[in-house]
Chains A and B, each alone.
Chain A
């Protein structure tokens, strides 16, 4: 599975996070983070996003994270969703539940 287009998931509501993934050919992960809780959780949000991307096998991407205090589980879910949307995969296709999707 590979990012083909811009994939977005999430909202700008409190306790949610909006994740945007843009495919890139090279240069690794270029992450921009905005968060209402950046001072206390910025490091952890970033780590969570990068870990999810690694699990999904994303090597090169422009990543925009606009967080409004989402918990880790929400961050994971939004990253996964943005990824599969960006891959333009078949909605009825097979998803790796319990594998790379946790």
Chain B
């Protein structure tokens, strides 16, 4: 059955059983579930009426045993420690050592730090993966069909919806925290490896049957104000290190000096400034990639020229936006993740820099997340096709190596979603006829800025008019794709086997696309 972005969704994907019995549907277009109702799935939690002095257990192994983890269960993790994370590997090692199998990992994201999990997949111990990001060895083994069930890939907002709706039920959540008290009140500041916020883990703490906080810095009770509330926590474990602080928070991303990136950033800022929402009190999100980050720098003089300020910025926060706020040009920063030490330092000291939950950020099924009030978002892409569909998950070889993250959430929510990407990367055409995998549907993508020109989605006549009025040149996206192919040649289609290895869920829980097992290149 073909879905609203023209992707064939095989029956085997639609037949996947979700925990709550909900049936998968093919993607129907944006706003499909708006106005419908969901019944939230609550966890089964233990009563602790009799006072206990402390919830501390001596080791992760003890926590695994105390939580009663059994074959077939689902355990969850967050990704605030990014590539410095030790938690996933430490916990999985203990689970495996206890001989427990058929485990599903439901993480907010997974990365290169989690290569050891690939081995558990190959051994058939980990049989399910639900995540936003999948990369490195894990991406490789999943792409080669080694995972027993298809991986389910969701946006950050889609994950919260799936947990709240009960598509996935978390038996035990393991929440790494820079600091915790003996009752599990956990914060992201004041420890050895601070990550700034714990936004993605909040839904886990509220919807998992059992919750374990793992920290390397115990602090006196009460550790307030907490990101993770002790009332939701069963056990606390102290370990030597939750992660590698150097990889948890990298130094501020250096502003790109690449003239191509700078040109694209400048053009993006001009597109934004030409739109009717670029007025006093506008709201904004940008990523941490080279050209996206550089947009901040070009936006500032345009704001000055018009005499306007930004009322709030959201998203993955970088030092660049904090810097803009220090200059008095941003009202509030609402933070779901910190990308660098500058952002972490800022939330420590700045009263106008707030933590929010992943649900507040991007959940499509709550009563209105921040993304729904967003004016502009600037995003990157691995590929964009002539229908404006974006791929941020599969490489040109068809192997999983990315993350939808907040891309689909912000793209749908924002009034104007701008994708910034070079026309080609090496021999790869970024603007192509059909993306390998649709991760953000084209009906949510408004403008594409490349080094060879800008294209506006024809379903946004208002933006086309705004650019025309401002004298900003734009071309049909087909022209950009043809230009790309004239430079690098027309790529052959990737060859796939029949097995579905991953499901790309739209944020509303329908199926946007599937990834099949990659067939190695055959010389013909």
Q: Which residues of A contact B (CB under 8 A)?
A: 14-15, 33, 36-44, 46, 68-72
Contact = CB atoms under 8 A, between A and B. Distances in A.
A39 B396 contact: yes
B524 A41 contact: no
B160 to A, nearest CB: 35
Interface of B: 396-398, 426-428, 487-489, 491-492, 494-495, 518, 521, 523-524
B492 A41 contact: yes
Given A70-B427, A71-B427, A39 B489 contact: no
28 contacts: A15-B426, A33-B523, A37-B426, A37-B427, A37-B491, A38-B397, A39-B398, A39-B492, A39-B495, A39-B518, A39-B521, A40-B396, A40-B428, A40-B494, A41-B427, A41-B489, A41-B492, A42-B492, A42-B521, A43-B492, A44-B489, A44-B492, A46-B523, A69-B426, A69-B427, A69-B428, A71-B488, A71-B489
A65 B494 CA distance: 21
Contacts of B518: 39
Nearest to A44: B489
B523 A41 contact: no
Nearest to B495: A39
A63 to B, nearest CB: 13
A71 B487 contact: yes
A31 to B, nearest CB: 9
B518 to A, nearest CB: 8
B521 A37 contact: no
Minimum-distance CB pairs A-B, first 5: A69-B426, A40-B491, A69-B427, A38-B521, A39-B397
A53 B489 CA distance: 20
B143 to A, nearest CB: 12
Contacts of A40: 396-397, 428, 491-492, 494
Contacts of B489: 41, 44, 71-72
Contact of B523 (A15, A42, A72): A42
Contacts of B427: 15, 37, 41, 69-71
Contact of A37 (B428, B495, B523): B428
A14 B426 contact: yes
Contacts of A71: 427, 487-489
A101 to B, nearest CB: 21
Among A36, A37, A40, which residue has the most Cβ atoms of chain B within 10 A?
A40
A10 to B, nearest CB: 14
Contacts of A15: 426-427
A44 B488 CA distance: 11
A69 to B, nearest CB: 4
Contact of B426 (A39, A43, A68, A72): A68
Nearest to B522: A42
Given A37-B427, A40-B491, 19 more contacts: A33-B523, A36-B426, A37-B396, A37-B426, A38-B521, A39-B492, A40-B428, A41-B491, A43-B492, A43-B524, A44-B489, A44-B492, A68-B426, A69-B426, A69-B427, A69-B428, A71-B487, A71-B488, A72-B489
A41 B397 CA distance: 10
Contacts of A69: 426-428
Nearest to A67: B427
Nearest to A72: B489
A39 B523 contact: no
A78 B158 CA distance: 49
Nearest to A32: B523
Contacts of A44: 489, 492
A40 B489 CA distance: 10
Nearest to A36: B426
Nearest to A16: B426
B364 to A, nearest CB: 34
